[in-house]
A = this chain, B = another copy of it.
Amino acid sequence: MHLPSVLKGHKDKEEEPKDEQKAPSGSAEQSQQPAQEGGDQPLSKSALKKKAKEEEKARLKAEKEAKVAAERKAAADAREQEEANDFAKQFYGKVPLNRSQDRPRRKHDVLVDLPSKVGETVLLRARIQTSRPTAKNCFFLLRQKIDTVQAILSVKPEKVSKPMFKWGSQLGSESIVLVEGVVEKALEEVKSATIGNVEIQITQIHLVAEPEKLYFSLEDASRPEKPGGEDEDKPENEEEEKQDGEDGDKTRNNVLLKTRLDHRILDLRTTTNQAIFKLQAAISDLFREFLNSQGFTEIHSPKLQGAATESGASVFKVSYFKGQAFLAQSPQLAKQMAIAADFERVYEIGPVFRAENSFTHRHLTEFMGLDLEMVIEEHYHEVMELLDQLFLFIFRSLKDKFSKEIETVGTQFPCEEFKWRDGEEGTLKISYSQAVDLLVEDGVDRAEVIDDMDTTNEKRLGRIIKQKYDTDYYIIDKFPLEVRPFYTMPDPNNPKFCNAYDFFIRGEEVLSGGQRIHDPVFLAEQMTKKGVDPESMSGYMEAFKLGCPPHGGGGIGLERVLMLYLKLNNIRRATLFPRDPNRLTP
């Protein structure tokens, strides 16, 4: 924990404003040292001299103190009178608790519009990110979501009074203020602000709300992270050594992930996080926009299930009245049932629950699944190609419409620009067997990857492919049947493989899917082979016994796409309030 450093931007609200005139340092301080210890012994000449000197010192000190006190009193009297006569009284102060007692209907402005309002008076509510008071000016960095701008409070005759200046100067970081001011062109670019070409000359400033305590400063929370997977596959509290800034300056600390997550509300206020979650929302929006244009219908399937199903992955058990229920590990069964119910093309965006006692950089116990399922007319590559088009649409749209957000995140999480193949050659699609060959060529033992690939080899493959094909995005098709769930359609020609694919971003899987078995007899056979009793899933089996068309689909992990696209290195950073086996709050 770095409280001394991280708290340096914060002023306690109980703190009294400091007097401008301070007692000269040095002498007064020295005089507060305890007098040399002595006894009843007669004093020597030098001791007498010393005593006289001390007496003279004490006299001078008392004189000075009296003077200071008199000055203080005069200043206080002046302040009191100044406040009593304060022409600016209405222009500052704490507003009463908003209980909707008034509605003056004043128009509120937003920071992002300021560059077009030079010369105008604006009214806006914002956070004070930092406040830097000098004798004559107080410089605020005001923040709204991913925008910051400089605002200046200066004493001005008939506009800003001294009491107003003093009151404004003591406002702490993360206070919410209602500011009225005039937008002016900045004399020189304000580098600390995202909107650097204008600034606000404050004419009114009121306090709406303020923090009782801060756990770290947003300046510290926004410092650039070291590039690379620094906290990959480490529990959030095992990264103590990694806290130093890149320049080795101990006072410029980054904030630990654990500290951030413990006080996530504060952490989420950084412009980086505001941008990350804008991009998260954008990915879902683009997912829906594309699929709606392709005739898909959004569905909502129940997360409470009567039976623990689907895969060996652990499932959460729920007390359900006198019995029990289970949390859905995916909408897989439900979306296939929707296909049997003639919905033709469906998607769902919803939480997915996995009771895996895992602490890697890419596992959570609850995450958002972007799932889809569709009828196949002839071949499962219809699905794979549609999913590819979906990803390309998302990549293109993010680049076109959200470059500001991507840049904002990039200042804290620097990474190479995301690359994909968008020409006529199209997305790189290779078979699992070809992927194995690439790894073997690179020196991996074939036996190690022939049946399945671990994360390390997946990432190695990602590096090989990046080097060879210059793409961060690719598809691997025709996985070994053995490693896919019971509902996967085997390859028609080679019983070792199946009609299933994974999609990868920067060497990690973000989508898994394939053709499903739609024939109830064949499905029951495959279930039995995989040790699943078809009787235990009678509701699911009925979907196929009622006649079901050939179909396929896939499931995307929203947070994984976001983490890998932005190279955030830990899935917790791509999740509003992450959940893992150790974390259920906030």
Contact = CB atoms under 8 A, between A and B. Distances in A.
B278 A355 contact: no
A100 interface: yes
A277 interface: yes
Contacts of A334: 576-577
Interface string A286-304: 0010001000011111111
A522 interface: yes
A264 interface: yes
Contacts of A368: 300
B520 A277 contact: no
A318 interface: yes
Is chain A's binding surface mostly helix, strand, loop or mixed? Answer: loop
Given A302-B579, A351-B300, A100 B549 contact: no
Q: Which of A98, A343, A368, A558 has the most CB of B within 10 A?
A: A98
A265 B546 contact: yes
Contact of A299 (B277, B543, B546): B277
Contacts of A519: 97, 209
Contacts of A175: 547
A155 interface: no
Interface in A568-586: 576-579, 581, 584-586
Contacts of A176: 547-549
Interface in A181-209: 208-209
A296 B325 CA distance: 35
A550 interface: yes
A300 to B, nearest CB: 5
Interface string A231-256: 00000000000000000000000000
Nearest to A209: B547
Contacts of A414: none
A429 interface: no
B351 A268 contact: no
Interface in A255-270: 263-266, 268-269
8 contacts: A99-B489, A99-B499, A100-B515, A144-B344, A145-B343, A212-B546, A265-B340, A265-B542
Interface of A: 97-106, 108, 125, 127, 143-145, 174-176, 208-214, 263-266, 268-269, 273-274, 277-278, 280-281, 284-285, 288, 292, 297-307, 316-321, 325, 327, 334, 337-338, 340-344, 349-351, 353, 355, 357, 365-366, 368, 375-381, 489-493, 499, 515, 518-520, 522, 538-540, 542-543, 545-550, 558, 576-579, 581, 584-586
